[in-house]
Amino acid sequence: MLEAVHTLADLAQWSYPGTALAVLGHPVAHSLSPPMHQAALARLAARDPRFAHWRYFRFDVPPEDLPRALRLLHAKNFQGLNLTVPHKILAVARLAEVEPSARPVGAVNTLLRTDAGWHGFNTDGHGLAMAVQEELRRDLAGTPVILLGAGGAARGAAVECLQRRCAELWIGNRTRSHLDALLVALAPLAQAPRIPLHAFDLAHPPAGLPAHALVINATSAGLRASDAAPVALAGLPRPAAVFDMIYNPPLTPLLRDAGRLGVPHANGLAMLVHQGARALELWTGVSVPVGTMRAAAEAALVKS
Ligand code: NDP
């Protein structure tokens, strides 16, 4: 059964005797993480009594309350937290330790309790790589990538592509200043492995874009029914595949265009599931039922 949306005020009287996990966001009511993790915990408990009293809660925490929330949840012995909008970047300065692979991303989505404080991880990149492999049978390693967007999700995706040694990385964005800031942050990661890194204006894709690339949409264009695709796919050299991080709606204008062109394509649901599965592995230390998590996320989406 799904828990109510909690606030910090509930922590003063907090008395859950089992092992608690939670997602913090603002807003958080529509997060798919609670049903996805609750389903996985029920499955784990059925085969291992150690997990019988694990439960996943959700907390609506405005950004100004995040420092206090992290202190209180640590004091109340929460074992792990997920962070969603707007906390992923804000939390970094409040951690005892940040996983080295998450440092260039500058954002964390998973916290693990340690005695010294919270240890931060970013499992979004892992989710992306797993989803691209599972849904599109592609490895980021050795693949030319055209990434659309320069926000938080794009930054995580770009770091993952560079850390996994993609063949080349082209990043297109609407606002040039956001794109330039991202390029400055990424340049050191691309330098040593000598991965070509280029920027372009989404409205004017250059002729030099690679053919047979993996196109990844990390813009929010497509979330609303009125949105156009972030780029005219038919104007690009034919891609090998298109991955859209958006999963609600399941078929964005970009994915519809890919379908019309006969290009393999997938939405972001598998990414959501795999970032969550990696987080649950970090908290529990065991392998987790990914299929159960996917089924629960799909069911929750239908109800949303
Ligand atoms: P941000 O707000 O940080 O960034 C939004 C990006 O989208 C910016 O690059 C922005 O460009 C661009 N953008 C917004 N509207 C348009 C438009 N109409 N046309 C072109 N570009 C546009 O958001 P996030 O990076 O956090 O999230 C991006 C998307 O990724 C969201 O849809 C989110 O739901 C999805 N996501 C999915 C995940 C999953 O697990 N599947 C995980 C994380 C995110 P500009 O710089 O010009 O403003």
Please tell me the residue having the least CA distance from ligand 1 atom 23: 151
Count the Cβ atoms, other than its own, within 10 Å of residue 271.
30
Residue from 159, 220, 301 to probe ligand 1 pocket by mutation (most atoms less than 8 Å from CB): 220
How many angstroms does the Cα of residue 223 sit away from the middle of ligand 1? 9
Summary mean pLDDT of the chain:
96
42-46, 71-75, 151-155: segment of lowest average pLDDT: 151-155
Tell whether 290 and 240 lie within a shared domain.
Answer: no
Q: CATH number for the domain including 181?
A: 3.40.50.720
Please tell me the residue having the least CA distance from ligand 1 atom 32: 220
Tell whether 240 and 286 lie within a shared domain.
Answer: no
Q: Please say whether the beta carbons of 23 and 34 come within 8 A.
A: yes
Per the annotation, the verdict on 76 as an active-site residue is no
Domain count, the chain: 2
Q: What is the pLDDT of residue 74?
A: 98
pLDDT digits (tens, 9 = 90+) for 70-117: 999 999 999 999 999 999 999 999 999 999 999 999 999 999 999 999
Mean pLDDT of 138-161: 96
Tell whether 162 and 146 lie within a shared domain.
Answer: yes
Q: Please say whether the beta carbons of 211 and 237 come within 8 A.
A: yes
Report the alpha-carbon distance of residue 156 to residue 218 in Å, rounded.
Answer: 10
The percent of residues above 90 in pLDDT, for the chain, comes to 95
Q: What is the pLDDT of residue 2?
A: 59
Q: What is the pLDDT of residue 208?
A: 94
Tell whether 136 and 262 lie within a shared domain.
Answer: yes
Tell whether 180 and 160 lie within a shared domain.
Answer: yes
Q: What is the pLDDT of residue 303?
A: 87
Higher-scoring residue by pLDDT: 100, 1: 100
- Asked whether 276 lines ligand 1 (CB < 6 A), one says no
| Structural domain span for residue 102 | 5-122+275-303
Out of 58, 88, 113, 278, pick the active-site residue.
88
Tell whether 67 and 139 lie within a shared domain.
Answer: no
How many angstroms does the Cα of residue 31 sit away from the middle of ligand 1? 17
- The reported pTM is 0.95
How many angstroms does the Cα of residue 270 sit away from the middle of ligand 1? 17
Per the DSSP assignment, residues forming a β-bridge with 2 are none
